[in-house]
Amino acid sequence: MKLQQLRYIVEVANHELNVSLTAEKLYTSQPGISKQIKQLEDELGIQIFYRSGKHLSGITEIGKTIIDTSREILNKVQDIKMIVQEHTKPNLGMLSLSTTYTQARYALPLKIQKFMQNYPDIALKMEQAESSQCLSNLKNRVTDFAIISDITDLTEELIALPCYHWNQSIIVPAQHPLTNKAIISIEDLAHYPLISYDLSKEGSDIYQTFHKNNTVPNIVFNTADADLIKTYVRLGTGVGIIAKMAMDNHQDQDLVVLNAGHIFPYSTTYIVFLRALYLRSYMYDFISEFSPHLNRSLIHQALSYENNQQVLTMFNGMKLNIK
C-alpha cells in the first residue's frame, strides 16, 4: 500500500469518478491511475469502485470507508510536513483562502495587504466562490480558510468562528420617493422592483424577512456583485438592498443610503476551517488581524468544544464589531 495509491482513490472520489480529469489535475496519466487503483484493490482483496466496462460507476460501501480513512491519512501526512516547516522555516509557507465577492472586495483588501507586508515569504492564494463552494474547498483541502456569511452547509468537521456583524442598507437614487419616508417598512419595499444578492434563495435572511411578513418581493435582478447592484440602481432599474460596508462615502455620493437595520436582521461573517487543520503561527496572525478578538487562546477554547453549536454559544455574549 502506497501513499500515492491512497491519494489517487481520494482524488478520483473528489472528481466524481472522472479518472481523466483526475489525471489532468495531478499531471499524470489516466492508465497510470487506473493501474495503481487496481493494484491497491488486489492487495486489499476488495473492490473500492464499481465498474461499468472500463469506467468507474460508483463507490462500494467498504470503498467509502477506505477513502475516508485515506483522506485522514493524507491530511496527517500534510500536517507532519507543516509541523516540520513551522519548526525549520516559520515564515515560509502558503495561505489559501476562499471567500465571497463582498468579502473579497470590501473586507479583505487592507487585511491582505498588511499580511503580505508582515509575511513577504508566505505565498497567498485567494479564490472567489459561493459559500457552499468555499466550504467544499475546505473539506477537500483545496483551501485553508473560508471567509463567508452563509454557514447553512456547515458540518462538524469544520469550525466557524464569528468575526463581525454587518447590516443591509437600502440604496436609491436621489429624489426617489423612499427618501421622503422617515421609517421604511417591508411593505414599502414590496411596492418597488428590487435588486440584491440573494432575494431568490429561500434560505437567505432577506427572503425569510419577506416571507415572515407574508409579503412577496418584486425581484428584478440577483447578483453577487455589489458594484452591479449600484450600477442598476443608478439606471433606475430598481431599489437596491446591499451590504452597508459595500458603500463608499466618496464614490457613491450620487446614491442615497437608507437604514434597513429595523427590517433585516444583521448578518455575521465567519472564518471557517477544518478542525483537523494544523494552524501555523502565520495563520493565527491572519485570523487575529482579520478579527482582533480571535486571539490564540480564544481559538484554542473554541476548538476544545465538540460541536459548532457550543462554539456559537460561547460567542453569544461577546460584543462583535458591526460594519
Which domains does the chain carry?
3-85 (1.10.10.10), 91-165+269-316 (3.40.190.10), 168-259 (3.40.190.10)
pLDDT value of residue 205 = 72
d(CA 90, CA 228): 41
Among 54-63, 75-84, 89-98, 207-216, where is mean pLDDT lowest? Answer: 75-84
pTM, two decimal places: 0.74
Q: Output the CA angle 231-232-235, nearest 5 degrees.
A: 95
- Cα–Cα distances (Å) from 85 to 62, 110, 127, in that order, read 35, 27, 24
Determine what percent of the chain is predicted with pLDDT higher than 90: 63
Query: Exposure string (b/e) for 56-73, b if CB count within 10 Å is 16 or more?
Result: beebeeebeebbeebbee
Please tell me the distance from the alpha carbon of residue 57 to that of residue 37, in angstroms, as a whole number. 14
Over residues 251-291, the pLDDT tens digits come to: 999 999 999 988 988 889 999 999 988 899 999 999 999 99
Would the pLDDT of 184 be above 90?
A: yes
Least reliable range by pLDDT among 94-108, 161-175, 187-201, 258-272? 187-201
Write down the number of H helices and E strands in the chain: 13, 12
Q: Inform me whether the pLDDT recorded for 91 exceeds 80.
A: no
CA dihedral 319, 154, 166, 162 (to 10 degrees): 30
Cell 460561547 belongs to residue: 314
Q: What is the C-alpha separation between 64 and 24, in angstroms, rounded?
A: 23
